[in-house]
Structure formats: structure tokens, C-alpha cells
């Protein structure tokens, strides 16, 4: 397995080869493997997780062969166009009912029939591994029992059933040589157990709440996942430092950012003559996005007589009614509009019409936080000045006063001050926006970040 220095050397070699071979050459000594990679995804395709869809598409574009095992097929009203470009076969696991407040016996009767056939085949092919893995799953149920009730965690038996279905698909395919999961809780548990059933190595990408919320990986479970993985990927240096503290046996952990299609997010401004300046915020309506502080800042701006509009765009979640009530209470319903989630093409149009991008992220009480929100990088790629907070991996993206503005989390007055400075100073907006675009070109080109991930896969699959 390679380390980060060797990875960077391979990437530089690949870049030099691409310059001389129209971008079609691979790094020396790293021909594409015959085996395929199976991606294990909790939900797919999700509007809010387009970074995963883009990653799959870009790996395919660079010649990697993939299969998708989807725990829950999403049926959102919109999908990103890139989904239609993905060629990987998709295996959808049978639906399961909720374990919450359902007697375990009844739950088993409702859900096991759809999984029995796959498990029988795995028992025939891998009887000893099956027994050991089943024992491991039962042990996990008791080892990581609920702290509140003391009862065994039934979710690990549920994930064992799912892992058996995945394992049967892997064994029948016969050409999968590596498993990779996104998010290091449920989907990685399934990958870990499927790996034990099949002896196919696994890796995972860790993101944000899956890293920092103890409830998602109780006790030393995340450590054990790192211990058993061939390698781990995460999207920020801050996340990598945190994960390294749990890394007992030297598992390679790589910080590889979510890349952007630099051509798609081109800085084209769409002037709306006569319109008030537009502040744009994008993200799921969850507490860690800090939208309540943006609304409070907008109230301050209005009280100061500052002219503006604000649109908050994203997938509905628990905080949306809270934000709507704030707007009504502050009499901001005509100044701040709440909009539903959009596709990447629609989002690009919003970026083009906006003047400032604001995302006042915060670390919430249970430890949940963002890594580097992709929308911040997208806005910077569009040469839009961004305002955010210096938490988690955000300072890796935004240098305060140079290519964006950072204000303390949960400080709506400081946020209002930063927004007012940008609203009143067009030259400052342009300077910060230009600097932001330059940084994205250096750090977030998806061709480079995908090449990095591909090289990690190649090194793992050849070792």
C-alpha cells in the first residue's frame, strides 16, 4: 500500500504523462486491474450527495470498472443528469421495515424471507466464514448495546442480513476484488461484514457526522473499522487528523477532497438589472448549516437599512419549519425565500444570479459538523465571494480576508457585518471572488482529485 508521499509522486507522474498523451495515459506501472470495485451506498442517488455520484462517474471515465450495491434506492423527484451517465450495474437490496419499536421476532418474520436465499448460498460457499461472521455480528449487538436501555443493538443483525445479500452478489459476480463504502457508519458496517464473509478487502470514505457522532459508531467500533480497512479516505485534513488518533495499526488514511468540474462551474454572471443584491445559501435544512444565524443576520441587515435579498435553497429537514417560523416572527418573509433542493444545473444558474454566498456552519451539541461543504467550493469556483465560519475543514478552503470571509460560529452580528461589507463594496466582492476561483483551480480540480483516488485503488488492488 502506498503512503501520501508516494501518492503525490504518482499523481505528478500521471499529470506529466497526460500532457504528452492527450490525458489518456496512466501513471507508469499502474495499468488498470481486471477486478472491479463494488461501491456500497446507504442511499442512491441523492441530490444532497452529488459528490458521490460525480466520483463514481469520474472513476468510470478514467477506466475503472464498478458495481453499485444500494441499501436504499432513493426516489427523489429530481436527479442530477450525471446519474444517467453512470454505467455501473446497480444491485438494490430488498427493503427493510424499521427496527424501532418493533419486536425483534416480528421484525425478523417481516424481513428475513427476502434475504434467506442469498444467505443460504453464502453458507454453502463459505460455511466457516459465515459462522464466524454471524458470531461477530451477534457479538457486536451485545458489545455495543444501547447506553440508554442496555438492550442489544439489533441494527447490527440487520446489517449482517444486508451484508449476506451483498456477499452473495459478490461471490456470484466473481470479478469484484475490492469493496468501498461511503460514510463510515451503516454502509461501512455492511462492507466490513461482507468482507469477512467473502475475504474481499474493504475501504471506506468518511465524511462528517459519521466521524464525529459517537451514536453512529459506539464504543471502539470506528477504531475497529479503521483497523480492518485496507485504507481510509476522508475529504479534509481536519478529519484525517481526527481519524489518525483512532488509527492503532497504521492503516493508510488519505485526505482527498471532493473535486469539482471546473468547466461546469465557470464564473459567468447573470446580471439581473434593477434587482436587489442576492445573498445565496445552499444546504440541507439541518442545524449544522447555521441557517438560523443567517436569518438573524438578515434581520440585522434590514434593521440597518441595507438593501438585499436572500434565498436559502436545500432539501427539507428538521430545521425548515424552525427557519420558516423565524422569518414570520422577524417579518422577513418577503426578504428571505426558502426554496426546495435543485439539480446541479439549476444550482449553477442560482450561483450565476447571486452576489454573495453565505453558509454559517456550526458544530452542534451532539458533535455533528460539516467537513468542507461542497457548495462553498462551487460558489468560489463561480467567483462568488463566500462568508462562512472557521470550523472543521473550512479554513483549509477559505483564508479569511483573502479568498473569503470567516466569522465566529453562532455570531449573527459578525455575520451581518461581513455581509454588509460585501454588499456595500463591489470591488471587495470582485477581489475576493477572483481569489476564490484561483484557489479552486489549484485545489479542487476533479480530474486531479479523481486521479488521486484512482491511484489509491490501484495500489490497493495490486498489493
Give the count of alpha carbons within 13 A of 62, CB side only: 27
Taking the alpha carbons of 135, 139, 142, 144 in that order, is the dihedral positive or negative?
Answer: negative
CA distance 299 to 304: 9
Long-range contacts of 113-118 (CB under 8 A, 24+ apart): 115/161, 115/162, 115/164, 115/165, 118/164, 118/165, 118/167, 118/168, 118/169
Model pLDDT for residues 230-257, shown as the tens digit of each residue: 999 999 999 999 999 999 999 999 999 9
Alpha-carbon distance of 379 to 437, in angstroms, equals: 9
What residues contact residue 280 under an 8 Å CB cut-off, 6+ apart?
A: 310, 311, 313, 350, 351, 354, 356, 357, 358, 379, 384
Distances (CA, A) of 17 to 20, 44, 226, 259, 354: 5, 34, 34, 20, 39
CATH superfamily of 278-443: Glycogen Phosphorylase B; (3.40.50.2000)
Cell readout for 47 is 441530490
The helix or strand, by DSSP H or E, that contains position 178, with its residue range, turns out to be strand 176-182
Element spanning 310, H or E: strand 309-313
Say if residues 157 and 135 touch (Cβ distance below 8 Å): no
- Expressed in angstroms, the distance from the first to the final Cα of the chain is 6
Nearest to 112 by CA among 72, 186, 165, 56: 165
CATH of 4-259+445-462, one of 2.60.40.420, 3.40.50.2000, 1.10.10.60, 3.50.50.60: 3.40.50.2000
Contact 126, 197 (CB under 8 A): yes
**pLDDT under 50 in the chain at which residues?**
14-15, 17-29
Contact assessment for residue 379 and residue 435, using Cβ atoms and an 8 Å cutoff: no
Q: Where are the domains of the chain?
A: 4-259+445-462, 278-443
Domains 4-259+445-462 and 278-443 agree in fold: yes
**pLDDT score at 272:** 65
Per-residue pLDDT tens for 398-444? 999 999 999 999 999 999 999 999 999 999 999 999 999 999 999 99
Q: Listing from the earlier edge strand, what are the strands of the sheet with 309-313?
A: 336-339, 309-313, 278-282, 356-358, 386-388, 405-406
- Examine residue 45 and say whether the peptide bond preceding it is cis (omega within 30 degrees of 0): yes
Helix, strand and coil content of the chain, in percent to the nearest 5, comes to: 50, 15, 35
Residue 20 is predicted with a pLDDT of: 45
pLDDT confidence of residue 4: 64
Q: Is 409 helix (H, G, I), strand (E, B) or coil?
A: coil
**325-342 confidence digits (pLDDT tens):** 999 999 999 999 999 999
CA distances from 429 to 96, 385, 390, 433 (A): 50, 6, 20, 6
Q: Return the HEC string of 389-437.
A: CCCCCHHHHCCECCCEEECCCCCHHHHHHHHHHHHHCHHHHHHHHHHHH
CB neighbourhood size of 113 (10 A): 10
Per-residue pLDDT, 16: 53
Amino acid at each position: 500500500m502506498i503512503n501520501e508521499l508516494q501518492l503525490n509522486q504518482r499523481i505528478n507522474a500521471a499529470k506529466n504523462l497526460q500532457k504528452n498523451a492527450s490525458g489518456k495515459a496512466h501513471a507508469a506501472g499502474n495499468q488498470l486491474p481486471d477486478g472491479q470495485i463494488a461501491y456500497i451506498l446507504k442511499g442512491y442517488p441523492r441530490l444532497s450527495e452529488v459528490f458521490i455520484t460525480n466520483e463514481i462517474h469520474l472513476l468510470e471515465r478514467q477506466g475503472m470498472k464498478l458495481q453499485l450495491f444500494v441499501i436504499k434506492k432513493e426516489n427523489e423527484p429530481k436527479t442530477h443528469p450525471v446519474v444517467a451517465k453512470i454505467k455501473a450495474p446497480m444491485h438494490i437490496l430488498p427493503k427493510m421495515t424499521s427496527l424501532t419499536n418493533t419486536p425483534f421476532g416480528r421484525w425478523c418474520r417481516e424481513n428475513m424471507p427476502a434475504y434467506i436465499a442469498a444467505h443460504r448460498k453464502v453458507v454453502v460457499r463459505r460455511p466457516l466464514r459465515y459462522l464466524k461472521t454471524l458470531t461477530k455480528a451477534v457479538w457486536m449487538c451485545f458489545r455495543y448495546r444501547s447506553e440508554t436501555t442496555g438492550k442489544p443493538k439489533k441494527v447490527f443483525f440487520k446489517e449482517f442480513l444486508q451484508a449476506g445479500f451483498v456477499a452473495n452478489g459478490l461471490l456470484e459476480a466473481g470479478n469484484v476484488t475490492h469493496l468501498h463504502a461511503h460514510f463510515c457508519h451503516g454502509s461501512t458496517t455492511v462492507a466490513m461484514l461482507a468482507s469477512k464473509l467473502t475475504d474481499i478487502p474493504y475501504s471506506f470514505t468518511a465524511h462528517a457526522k459519521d466521524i464525529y457522532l459517537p451514536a453512529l459508531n459506539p464504543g471502539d467500533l470506528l477504531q475497529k473499522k479503521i483497523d480492518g480497512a485496507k485504507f481510509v479516505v476522508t475529504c479534509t485534513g481536519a478529519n484525517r487528523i481526527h481519524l489518525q488518533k483512532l488509527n492503532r495499526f497504521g492503516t493508510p488514511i488519505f485526505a482527498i477532497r471532493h473535486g469539482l468540474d471546473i468547466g461546469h462551474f465557470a464564473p459567468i454572471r447573470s446580471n439581473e438589472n434593477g434587482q436587489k443584491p442576492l445573498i445565496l445559501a445552499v444546504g440541507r435544512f439541518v442545524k449544522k448549516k447555521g441557517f438560523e444565524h443567517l436569518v438573524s443576520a438578515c434581520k440585522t441587515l434590514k434593521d440597518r437599512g441595507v438593501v438585499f435579498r436572500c434565498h436559502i435553497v436545500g432539501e427539507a429537514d428538521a430545521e425548515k419549519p424552525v427557519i420558516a417560523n423565524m422569518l414570520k416572527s422577524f417579518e422577513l418573509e418577503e426578504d428571505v425565500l426558502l426554496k426546495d433542493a435543485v439539480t446541479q444545473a439549476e444550482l449553477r444558474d442560482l450561483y450565476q444570479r447571486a452576489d454573495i454566498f453565505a453558509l454559517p456552519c456550526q458544530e452542534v451539541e451532539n458533535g455533528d459538523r460539516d467537513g468542507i461543504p461542497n457548495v462553498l467550493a462551487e460558489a468560489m469556483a463561480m467567483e462568488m465571494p463566500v462568508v462562512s465560519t472557521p470550523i472543521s475543514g473550512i479554513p483549509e478552503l477559505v483564508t479569511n480576508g483573502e479568498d473569503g470571509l470567516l466569522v465566529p460560529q453562532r455570531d449573527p452580528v459578525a455575520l451581518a457585518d461581513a455581509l454588509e461589507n460585501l454588499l456595500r463594496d463591489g470591488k471587495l466582492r470582485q477581489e475576493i471572488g477572483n481569489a476564490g476561483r484561483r484557489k479552486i483551480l489549484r485545489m479542487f480540480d476533479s480530474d486531479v482529485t479523481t486521479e488521486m483516488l484512482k491511484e489509491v485503488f490501484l495500489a490497493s488492488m495490486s498489493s
